[in-house]
A and B are shown apart, each in its own frame.
Chain A
Amino acid sequence: MVSGYGGEPILQGVDIALEAGRIGVIVGPNGAGKSTALKSLFGLISLDQGRVLFDGTDITLVAPDKRVGLGIGYVPQEMNIFPSLTVQENLEMGAIIRDDDFSHVIDQTFEIFPPLKDKRYSEAGQLSGGQRQMVAIGRALMVEPRLLLLDEPTVGLSPAFVQDIIERITSIARSGVGILVVEQNARRALEIADTGFVLAGGKNLYTDTGENLLNDPEVARSFLGG
């Protein structure tokens, strides 16, 4: 992929490939183009060059809201909930494109995120940071996506919550959903990654299994803080 916001492209050739039901983690220094890569995959930024394939179909020209219908969920980094709606209503909004009965998906979401069940009639804006993140991910899960794109889901959370969210991500993946996550907490994230993508300067620097990247002294020194 090559893309950006006009002018010099931010992504200067990034390849991301993920198999169904696996966890991919995108790490790298600030300004490496991690979020841009995710937005480009979801179609929020149109590509200058390259293609996006989903299940073998070329979706490069499909609008983001239509990609939701195809089975791709996207959770932006900020402003990712409807604060004045209740938790339940946030989840219902996630399912707005569904015409069938989705109550079982709401129940499943509460199983993944038990704290939300007690707060289902509270305004989402009143919740703690970690719970808001759960609402945001839960909203994206309502279409029962086959691929979930998460942009820094642990940003600004306390370490306990970071661990919590990362564990939930693993359990969502175990239910068969492919997850591509951009993470600041590189070490923690790579621990759960099937595939890790290290980006720098808008390019792929390393692509390997999470384990190999963690054990690679070069990667460790440059991106994991030694």
Chain B
Amino acid sequence: MSADFRGGAARAAAASAGALALDIDIELPLGNFHLQCAERLQMDGVTAVFGPSGAGKSALLRSIAGFEPATGRVALGDDVWLDTAAGVRVPAHRRSVGYMFQDARLFPHLSVGGNLRYAARRARGGAPSFDDVVAALDLAALLRRRPSALSGGERQRVALGRTLLAKPALLLLDEPLAALDSARKADILPYLEALPAQFGMPTLYVSHAIDEVARLARRTLVLAQGRARAFGPTAAVLQRLDVQSIAGPIEASVLVQARVTRHDLHYRLTWLELGGQPIATPLNGSLAPGALAQVRIRARDVALATARPTALSIRNVFAGRLTELVAQADSPFAEAAVDVAGQCLRARITRAAADDLGLAVGMNVYALVKSVSFDA
């Protein structure tokens, strides 16, 4: 009995620490390639599955949910959903996953309230209350409406609410914003950002939009051609040049964490601190001094110098060390990575400039940042 108790306590502790692991080792034939993915994902908050269209992202999610005849193994913590070797294949309706589809898939014959109650009636213990979910997603005004009378953004809000009400152990969001225009996206993103944590559901978030991934996900799994190419903390994964080459024509940029030091109302600037060096950004009053802000710096806004420049309009100059330099013969540009106090900046300069300056990995350089933008 005491052993039982310890086991339960350990599990509870693990859950509260967010240490629930999703074990995936699956194979699925997909048109012209195989989805083949073996990863152990620590499900802590939102984990992104990122990659170009056709990389097998949705197929991976559908395999986890039990909608595809994948073979191999899928387990969430101690809960084994698929183990082909042991003859285990738990059908989709008995896997505790909530799936939010790109096209919402509300039941058209039920009202919004009917859709939500459909989920609530079939929920497991510990499910959030109907009223809490309706309030959190601002659905009260929609309850009597038919799904056909909703806008795309409203549909996705209802779909998210329906999924939350079922209280799944794992939330799978399959490009929930892909069908929306950017204004609608901006409406939904805050909900996607706040609610999985608020209702205590670890989340896998599929997207091919790097800004969504950077904003929402603590960790990112990169998928290309049906294979996992990288997994780790989002900022680190998205900085890798090999990941950026997989991801296709995305704009090279980095996310850095910087602490807010003060607001300068006269010049309308917010000052941040990155590795002991100040950065000026356009004033952002929503950030309190002392808070950690996520800042995006695009490679094309970063120049490099081998000596600290003076008499320059660019205010943000960082001393760092060149850690990576990739030049391709068929491109005029070279991509460089600079380590600044443990954070990585990326610079896009011409190959000609790189040769003129005699840049080489390991050199001390100065990164000149022309502009930065806040990322949430």
Asked whether A and B interact, the reply is no
- Identify the B interface with A (CB < 8 A): none
Binding site for B on A (CB under 8 A): none
